[in-house]
Structures are given as C-alpha cells and as structure tokens.
C-alpha cells in the first residue's frame, strides 16, 4: 500500500462530468496521498479519453481501468483487487468531493487504523441548494468525533442512517480479507457496499468532515423516481442477493447486538421494496402479478430468518393505514383517492414542519 486513500470512480458515459469529479481530487495536499481509480465501464462517449488525459497529467495519482460494460458492481470488482490505498472509498463520476475537506480527511486518515470511517455529505438539489446529512439518532449527534468505537457499541442504537455509500470509507485489507465482491450486471449494488462489511467490521470512527457532494440534479440519475420505476426488477434482484448473502454467512460468528441490527437493516430493505411498489410508482406502472411473485419470496425469507414485522405506513404519520396489510388482504394497491389524500397530507405536514422549525 503506497497510497493513503484509493478512490474508485465508476464511469459510464460521463465525459462532461468526469473532469469536475477528478479536479476535486487532484489538489495540493492530496496528490501524493491519493489514488484516483477511474474504471471506464464500456463508455460510448469520450470518457476514456478524458480519463487517460488525466492519467498523463497526473501519472502518480490517477490510474485507469478500461473494461467492457458490466454495470456498477463490476467496476468495484475490477478496482478493489489492485487498489494501492490503505483505505478505499467510492466516488460516482457525476459527484465530487469538497477539495478542502478532502485534504483534512487525508490528514485524519494518517493516524487512523479503524475498519470503518464515517463522514458527512451534501445532497445537491436541482436548484443548486445543498442539504448536509450528518449521522444522528433522532436529531442528536451522540457520537464523539475522532473517537474509535467498537462497532457493536454503535449498532446497539439500532440507527441505520450512517450506512450510506456517500459517507462510508473502509480499510482496504478488511474488504480483501472478507473476499468482498459486488453483484454484476445490475444497478443499485451500492447497497452491498453499505451492507456486507457490517458483518465483519470491528471498529468505527466518525469525523466531523463534510466530504462527499452527492449530485441529484442530473437527469437520468439512478435515484430519479422515473428511473427507479423502470428499475424495480433490478432493485428486487439486489434485495434477493442481500438475502442470499445473509443465508450463507456464519451467523453464529455475530454478536446478538450485531445480528439484531442486521435483521433490522434487512427488514428496512424489504420494506423499501414494498414502498416502491405500493406507494411510490405511478398506478399505471404497478404490476400486481410482479409484486405477487416477489411478495411470496420475501415473505418466505422473512418467515425463515425472522427479520421482523414489516409495516408500511404513510410518511405523514397522520393517516395510520398500513399499505402492505391492504395489499395482503386485497392483492391490489389502495384506491387512488386515498393515495391522493395521503400525498396531500404528506405535503401539508412537510410544509408545517418547515414553518415550525425554519
């Protein structure tokens, strides 16, 4: 390991945005300590030429892997075995790091040897506004920044918010020791990046650094609701893959605290899949047969592994009707008039809280 941090940059048709991403990394104070690993996943535009141009300018800091298209997970699988950093982090090529925060982050990594490192991130919206995501429990930040915690001492809080790709950095050797691999050929496998290492990581540290800038403004971004609606089958495959990993892991090696947390994580993941089908996608895209087939698999898995009771209430917490219970009873979504009422209530509650806490 001759670098402090390897940054894996999955790239597919990002010719226009890749320079901003790389420029945010290749700054004074970071160049000698960072490895920017651009993995070109069969791009059809000029992404590879852009990456090679940066490699020529910064040969000690930029590496390029050119491979046939295999989707997101394949880029991680291609880069991780040859990463030269003590730590490794993923940066999507349409996103970027805050450069000043990156230098401070590297300074902190110099004296850290924990399995997991957690930092803040910004969500960048369509209008250019930014919202910082910090890791808290019910609005409080209970973790001392810079303190090394046993991961079980954190997991007992049962709070999953900090397990998001944008805030995660891992010790590279830990991932290699667990033979980490992501599923190839489908999207949304960053969920595996957030999940599998939790089974084995020993310790964790939180840093008060806002590093990752998560771009939600790009059309076609994978978290775009229209893209999600078209990609439900991939999200379902990803969830079933998570369950397969769970079924094959030596669960006896996990502490009761960790096992309980992981079960909660899985129950939340399953709930999210139901939410996509029953609350989020347009009615004309809802397929009762598709959900029925998936429901049978998820119900069977939950009965076998006892992840927990799954309910699907509206976010507004006023209309306390369980959409999943309605589905199981009637094998259809609740009526459109109720869905409209629910959405208007959501908007009203959101407006009220903005006025109350602004």
For 45, phi then psi, to 5°, come to -105, -150
Each of the 358 residues of the chain gets a pLDDT tens digit; together they read: 699 999 999 999 999 999 999 999 999 999 999 999 999 999 999 999 999 999 999 999 999 999 999 999 999 999 999 999 999 999 999 999 999 999 999 999 999 999 999 999 999 888 878 888 887 766 677 789 999 999 999 898 776 555 789 999 999 999 999 999 999 988 888 899 999 999 999 999 999 999 999 998 765 555 555 666 778 888 899 999 999 999 999 999 999 999 999 999 999 999 999 999 999 888 988 999 999 999 999 999 999 999 999 999 988 888 889 999 999 999 999 999 999 999 899 888 888 776 665 5
Q: What is the pLDDT of residue 137?
A: 65
Q: How many residues does the chain have?
A: 358
Q: Kindly report the backbone phi and psi dihedral angles of residue 155, in degrees, each rounded to the nearest multiple of 5, phi listed first.
A: -65, -25
Q: By the 8 A CB rule, do 116 and 201 touch?
A: yes
Torsion 160-166-170-176 (CA) sign: positive
DSSP 197: G
Q: 3-state class of 96 per DSSP?
A: strand
Q: Which of 122, 115, 127, 208 is nearest to 169 (CA)?
A: 115
Q: What's the predicted TM-score (pTM) here?
A: 0.90
Tokens 């599923």, located at residue: 183
Contacts 24+ apart (CB under 8 A), 129-136: 130/213, 132/210, 133/161, 133/164, 133/166, 133/167, 135/161, 135/162, 135/167, 135/206, 136/161
Structure tokens of 209? 């650094």
What pLDDT does residue 217 have?
Answer: 77
The first and second tokens of residue 250, run together, are 């030596």
Cα torsion 52, 46, 73, 299 to 10°: value is 160
Q: How far apart are CA 91 and CA 34, in angstroms?
A: 13
Tokens of 131: 């919202």
């Amino acid at each position: 390991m001759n670098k402090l941090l390897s940054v894996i940059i999955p790239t597919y048709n990002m010719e226009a945005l890749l320079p901003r991403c790389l420029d945010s990394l290749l700054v004074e104070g970071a160049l000698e300590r960072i490895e920017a690993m651009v993995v070109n996943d069969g791009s059809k535009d000029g992404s590879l030429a852009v990456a090679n141009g940066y490699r020529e300018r910064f040969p000690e800091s930029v590496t390029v892997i050119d491979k046939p298209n295999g989707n997101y997970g394949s880029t991680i699988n291609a880069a991780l075995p040859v990463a030269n950093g003590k730590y490794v982090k993923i940066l999507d090529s349409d996103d970027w790091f805050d450069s000043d925060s990156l230098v401070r982050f590297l300074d902190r990594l110099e004296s850290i040897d924990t399995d997991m490192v957690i930092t803040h991130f910004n969500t960048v919206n369509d209008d250019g506004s930014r919202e910082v995501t910090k890791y808290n429990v019910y609005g409080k930040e209970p973790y001392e920044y810079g303190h090394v915690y046993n991961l079980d001492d954190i997991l007992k809080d049962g709070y999953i918010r900090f397990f998001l790709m944008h805030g995660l950095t891992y010790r590279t050797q830990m991932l290699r020791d667990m033979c980490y691999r992501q599923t190839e050929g489908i999207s949304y496998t960053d969920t595996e990046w957030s999940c599998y290492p939790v089974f084995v990581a020993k310790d964790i540290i939180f840093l008060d650094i806002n590093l990752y800038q998560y771009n939600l403004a790009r059309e076609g971004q994978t978290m775009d609701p229209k893209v999600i609606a078209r990609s439900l089958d991939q999200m379902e495959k990803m969830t079933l893959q998570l369950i397969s990993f769970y079924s094959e892991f030596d669960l006896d090696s996990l502490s009761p605290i960790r096992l309980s947390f992981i079960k909660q994580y899985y129950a939340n993941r399953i709930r999210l899949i139901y939410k996509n089908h029953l609350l989020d996608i347009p009615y004309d895209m809802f397929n009762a047969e598709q959900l029925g087939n998936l429901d049978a698999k998820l119900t069977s898995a939950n009965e076998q592994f006892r992840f927990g009771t799954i309910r699907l209430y509206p976010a507004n917490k006023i209309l306390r009707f369980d959409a999943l219970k309605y589905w199981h009873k009637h094998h259809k979504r609740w009526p459109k008039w109720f869905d409209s009422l629910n959405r208007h209530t959501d908007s009203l509650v959101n407006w009220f809280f903005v006025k109350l806490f602004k």
